[in-house]
Homo-oligomer: A and B are copies of this chain.
Amino acid sequence: MTVPQPKLADVAAAAGVSPTTVSRVLNDRGYLSQKTKDAVHAAMAELGYRPNAIARSLQQRSSRLVGIIFPTVAHPFYGQMAEALETRLAGAGYKVLLCDSAGRPDRERRHLDMLLANQVDGIITGAHSQVVGDYPGLRAPVVTIDRPKGHDFPDISCDNRTVMRELTRGVIARGARRILHLTSSRDPQAPRLLGHAEAMAEARLEPAVLRPEPSRGWWPDPEQIDPVLDRAWEAAAAPEAVMCSNDLLAAAVLSWARRRGLRVPRDLQVTGFDGSAASRIFYPELSTVVQPYGAMAREAVAAILAAVDGEPLPAGTRELPATIDWRETTRPA
């Protein structure tokens, strides 16, 4: 506290060598006599020296910092993704600047400004707005996570369309004909919707998509969902299955079903999407799609690191296979 932190020059003085030499042993560069190395190490230990990463970053014009932007890390999907990314990045010697955009473009813009000012080596974003897309002076490589195309950055996703087609086929095979699709997405071309529509078309079933408004951006709102479901159930033919675009939505549906006295899966089958660790504990019975968190983090980080090494970023989406976990909210196959 009171003692100023020792700097490289102090170590040099203590060891009786030049700053350059200390820098060399620090970075293990060039030829050093063992004797010198030992002396320097001793001095460093003596003083409790810790190199200043900021000075190093300035000199090397590389911060080893990666920014990650998500709408909300309180959400199990983003939280788990953030964890997987941090673990990978830390393993590669990178540091993570966490940005929570709360789904607000203004916040995202501020965060982007901040990241660029801090000379980040890369940005990984799962934020929903398109502000990264047309950002002036964006020097850092950008990779998106589970974002639809419509931008020039590589995107890492699971095989949304394929797995959703598969999941829908499975629900149909389990006896459901009248299937409701609940989504929080406002994009009619969302891959999950397309996959769903394909499977429905194959079976000559009419897709029915409902988009209840989420509250606070990412949290399903029972006030919105319940009336929507009530209405669907008061229609002539009540649905036999509800497929949801994420596990939280599915949980809201299951809660509604309990209140309404519907038996799952007898009266109603329910599926989710995401399969976060939290979701698997909260709802082990939920049939859902488990996203490949680890693999997605690996690919996203690999892309950033490649870009740092000067390789051009591949455009387009990289899709990693997700797995379906059939449980008790659907009937046996």
Contacts and interface: CB of A to CB of B under 8 A. Distances in A.
B277 A74 contact: yes
A160 to B, nearest CB: 21
Nearest to A279: B282
Contacts of A100: 82-83, 86-87, 90
Contacts of A102: 87
Given A58-B54, A83-B100, A251 B117 contact: no
Q: Which of A57, A79, A285 has the most CB of B within 10 A?
A: A79
Contacts of A57: 54
A111 B119 CA distance: 20
Contacts of A117: 50-53
Contacts of A84: 74
B50 A282 contact: no
Interface stretch (A30-38, A91-99, A143-151, A198-206): A91-99
A317 to B, nearest CB: 23
Kindly report how many copies of this chain are found in the complex they form together: 2
A188 interface: no
Contact of A97 (B72, B96, B111, B283): B96
Given A54-B63, A111-B90, A117-B50, A281 B251 contact: yes
Given A87-B100, A281-B220, A113 B50 contact: yes
A55 interface: yes
A1 interface: yes
Contacts of A53: 114, 117-119
28 contacts: A50-B137, A51-B117, A52-B119, A53-B118, A53-B119, A72-B83, A74-B80, A74-B82, A74-B83, A74-B278, A75-B278, A76-B76, A78-B79, A83-B100, A86-B98, A87-B102, A90-B107, A90-B114, A95-B97, A95-B118, A96-B98, A98-B98, A219-B277, A219-B281, A251-B282, A255-B285, A279-B282, A282-B282
